[in-house]
Structure 1
């Protein structure tokens, strides 16, 4: 095939869509999405300026001219479908042991795929917004899955330990780097806006426009990440497992955010859920003591 044709946007989208469609007919196409994400990462500058991702491409159709088109029009769309499917499962299904194994596998693919994407130095604001929204959903799924294991006292299997490990090493750590990079972009945009306004008028703008990313989406993401870490810590204590060995502790992250941007009902709901669960897990001996005191 002519190399010039490999750089055609319409052709590249058509071929990648066909590849995904055929793959999904034959087997699980989640590994394919991860390969596509790795190829896209290979075409982007890394969020960390000190890091260079050395990667042997899987697909020639994903190149310097087409990688952003494929990311925005195909990969993000496919990942959203996968996340929505996982969300539906965790919210509506009671998983058997075999289903837990399969679920861990699917979530692991999502984790490692997003782990590649968040290492990309992206410039498009809407792309970043869509990615932040999806990762927030993914962390909500991880947290809910962990909370269910705590509530049901489900034994931790190797598949879950592996999921917990890679969610720390391959997603959480690069995700904090991506968030820091995103916040830096937002600050740069704000400074540029201020400079432009000063050129037009010397008067200060009385109302500062809120940033969707900085003031809403990023705080929600970080909040959900920290909730997941707390749930893992609680599950680990319950079953005497060390599940946070690959995690960078939240206390040492390189930024702060305003918790006021988290809806009150979200925080209240989470707190009440934890209190209810704590009440359910009161030992029988303590209950008997309370009854005796009441008598």
Structure 2
């Protein structure tokens, strides 16, 4: 089952694609796929409605894929969470998860353009497994209970401007929160349909050349550990997004001259079972 939001920016409508491939309009159940919907057992209610035939088939609108969740309350990111990525950047393996934030309004659709910020010299790509929270997580006692607070998984592109991130003072957030810096989707896959979030292949290409090709098994801290850990520092609420880190193969980790994104580049990325994205890189107006 795939939960989607289709339509022009700001006018997306909720849909579900059933296992057989038929698209159904979710408007009879909810106005949007957001924290309120997820907290109210929305995914279970969608399954019940599909089983009961309460959601008539919808005509494919043939329009833009929006992010599969409405703007999250917060976007929490984990840095240096793949062994290969830490090695390529010369960083030590973290003893605890490295956390930083992205502004929630950078979340856009999976095929929306990536904007090069004004003054950018080192905009970089990062394919990541996104975790969407479905149940409030506050001071969880152990990783064992953490996955019960996950609504589902999603393909996330954590775009980064490395010069802003590393050379402009302060925390990493400056290089992470530029406009359109988090394409998300195309769909949200319920957590119980992903047998093992630590066994997913993830890949990224730029202009047809594959740069990232790894598996979530290379994570330093798995999904359960991350959700548990983050809950000790902040309350995770339904609809929040966690970007769990990127594998080796980013531009930052390449020899000089590093192949950072330029206007006209095309980025494509995918994760097993979570679909595929395609973005054109555009200079900021």
TM-score (norm 1): 0.26
Structure ranking higher in helix proportion: 1
Structure with higher Rg: it is 1
Taking structure 2 as the reference length, the TM-score comes to: 0.27
